[in-house]
Structure 1
Amino acid sequence: MTVAPGATATVAPGSAPPVWQPAAGAFWSGVWRDGDSSFPVYDPEDGALLGYVTDASAADVDAAVTSVAAAVHEGPAWPAWSRREALRTAASLVRERRALFTEVISREGSKTVREADAEVSRAAETLRLSAEQAGRLTGETLPFGDTPRGQDRLGWYTREPVGVVAAITPFNDPLNLIAHKLGPALVAGNGVVLKPAETTPFTALAFMAVLLDAGVPAERLAVVPGAGSTAGQALVSHPLVDLVSFTGGHRTGNAVARAAGARKTLMELGGNNCVIVLADAEVSRAARAVVAGAFGVAGQNCLSVQRVFVAAELAERFTEDVVTATRLLRVGSKRDPLTDVGPMIEEREAVRVAAWVEEARERGAEIRAGGRREGAFHWPTVLTRVPAGTRLMTDEVFGPALVINAFDSVDDAVRQANSTEFGLQAGVFTGSIDRALDLAERLRVGAVMINDSSDFRIDAMPFGGPKRSGVGREGVRYAVEAMTEPKIVAIRRC
Structure 2
Amino acid sequence: MTTVESPPTAQPIWRPPAGALWSGRWVDGASAMPVRDPEDGSLLGHVTDTSPVEVDQAVAGVAAAGTSGEEWPAWRRREALDAAARLVLRRREVLTEVMSREGCKTVREATAEVSRAAETLRLSAQQTGRLTGETLPFSDTSRGAGRLGWYTREPVGVVAAITPFNDPLNLVAHKVGPALAAGNGVVLKPAEATPLTALAFAEILLDAGVPAERLAVVPGTGAGTGRALVGHPLVDLVSFTGGFRTGNEVARAAGAKKTLMELGGNNAVLVLDDAAREAAAHAVVAGAFGVAGQNCLSVQRVFVSSRIADRFIRDVVTATEALRVGRKADSRTDIGPLISEREAGRVQEWVREAREGGAEVRTGGQREGAFHWPTVLTGVPADAKVMTEEIFGPVLVIEPFETVDEAITRANGTRYGLQAGIFTAALETALDVAERLRVGAVMINDSSDFRIDAMPFGGPKRSGVGREGVRYAVEAMTEPKVVAVRRSA
TMscore range, shorter length: over 0.9
For residue 12 of structure 2, the aligned residue among 2, 10, 18 is: 18
Q: Aligned partners of 2:118, 2:244: CA distance in 1, in Å?
A: 28
For residue 462 of structure 1, give the secondary structure of its aligned residue in structure 2: coil
For residue 19 of structure 1, give the secondary structure of its aligned residue in structure 2: coil
Where does the alignment leave 5 or more consecutive residues of structure 1 unmatched?
1-12
Q: Which residue of 2 aligns with 1:281?
A: 275
Q: Which residue of 1 aligns with 2:4?
A: none
1:430-469 residue pairs with structure 2 within 5 A? 430-469=424-463
* Pairing 1:135–2:129 present: yes
Q: Aligned partners of 2:69, 2:299: CA distance in 1, in Å?
A: 46
Paired residue type of 2:300: Q
Deviation at 1:73, TM superposition (A): 4.7
For residue 241 of structure 1, give the secondary structure of its aligned residue in structure 2: coil
Paired residue type of 2:209: G
1:303-382 residue pairs with structure 2 within 5 A? 303-382=297-376
- For the 8 Å contact 1:14–1:48, the answer to whether it is kept is no
For residue 386 of structure 1, give the secondary structure of its aligned residue in structure 2: coil
Aligned in 2, Cα 1:221/1:148: closer, same or farther, shift over 3 Å?
same
* Pairing 1:199–2:193 present: yes
Paired residue type of 1:424: L
Q: Which residue of 1 aligns with 2:99?
A: 105
Paired residue type of 2:52: A
Q: Aligned partners of 1:17, 1:227: CA distance in 2, in Å?
A: 27
Where does the alignment leave 5 or more consecutive residues of structure 2 unmatched?
1-6
Aligned in 2, Cα 1:332/1:200: closer, same or farther, shift over 3 Å?
same
Deviation at 1:428, TM superposition (A): 0.1
Deviation at 1:16, TM superposition (A): 3.0
- For the 8 Å contact 1:382–1:401, the answer to whether it is kept is yes
What RMSD over aligned residues (CA atoms) do the two structures have, in Å? 1.0
Q: Aligned partners of 1:388, 1:16: CA distance in 2, in Å?
A: 44
Deviation at 1:77, TM superposition (A): 1.8
For residue 66 of structure 2, give the secondary structure of its aligned residue in structure 1: helix
Q: Which residue of 2 aligns with 1:253?
A: 247
Deviation at 1:431, TM superposition (A): 0.3
Q: Aligned partners of 2:264, 2:145: CA distance in 1, in Å?
A: 49
Q: Which residue of 2 aligns with 1:47?
A: 41
Q: Aligned partners of 1:458, 1:75: CA distance in 2, in Å?
A: 29
Q: Aligned partners of 2:149, 2:206: CA distance in 1, in Å?
A: 38
* Pairing 1:406–2:400 present: yes
* Pairing 1:297–2:298 present: no
Deviation at 1:385, TM superposition (A): 1.0
- For the 8 Å contact 1:15–1:48, the answer to whether it is kept is no
- For the 8 Å contact 2:59–2:187, the answer to whether it is kept is yes
Q: Which residue of 2 aligns with 1:9?
A: none
* Pairing 1:472–2:466 present: yes
Indicate the larger mover: 406-415 or 264-273: 406-415
- For the 8 Å contact 1:164–1:242, the answer to whether it is kept is yes
Deviation at 1:147, TM superposition (A): 0.3
Q: Aligned partners of 2:348, 2:69: CA distance in 1, in Å?
A: 52
- For the 8 Å contact 1:326–1:380, the answer to whether it is kept is yes
- Count of aligned pairs between the two proteins: 482
Q: Which residue of 1 aligns with 2:3?
A: none
For residue 158 of structure 1, the aligned residue among 148, 152, 156 is: 152
Q: Aligned partners of 1:73, 1:448: CA distance in 2, in Å?
A: 37
* Pairing 1:70–2:64 present: yes
Q: Which residue of 1 aligns with 2:54?
A: 60
- For the 8 Å contact 1:369–1:382, the answer to whether it is kept is yes
Percent identical residues: 74
Deviation at 1:387, TM superposition (A): 1.1
Q: Aligned partners of 2:136, 2:17: CA distance in 1, in Å?
A: 51
Q: Aligned partners of 2:229, 2:446: CA distance in 1, in Å?
A: 38
Q: Which residue of 2 aligns with 1:182?
A: 176
For residue 292 of structure 2, give the secondary structure of its aligned residue in structure 1: helix
Q: Aligned partners of 2:122, 2:70: CA distance in 1, in Å?
A: 25
Q: Aligned partners of 1:166, 1:340: CA distance in 2, in Å?
A: 34
TM-score (norm 2): 0.98
Q: Aligned partners of 1:328, 1:182: CA distance in 2, in Å?
A: 38
Indicate the larger mover: 407-416 or 198-207: 407-416
* Pairing 1:228–2:261 present: no
Instruction: Note the alpha carbon deviations across 1:319-352, whole angstroms, 9 max, x for none.
Output: 0000000000000000000000000000000000
Q: Which residue of 2 aligns with 1:32?
A: 26
Q: Which residue of 2 aligns with 1:6?
A: none
Deviation at 1:14, TM superposition (A): 7.9
Instruction: Note the alpha carbon deviations across 1:32-79, whole angstroms, 9 max, x for none.
Output: 000110111110001101110000000010000001001025896210
Q: Aligned partners of 1:14, 1:239: CA distance in 2, in Å?
A: 47
TM-score (norm 1): 0.97
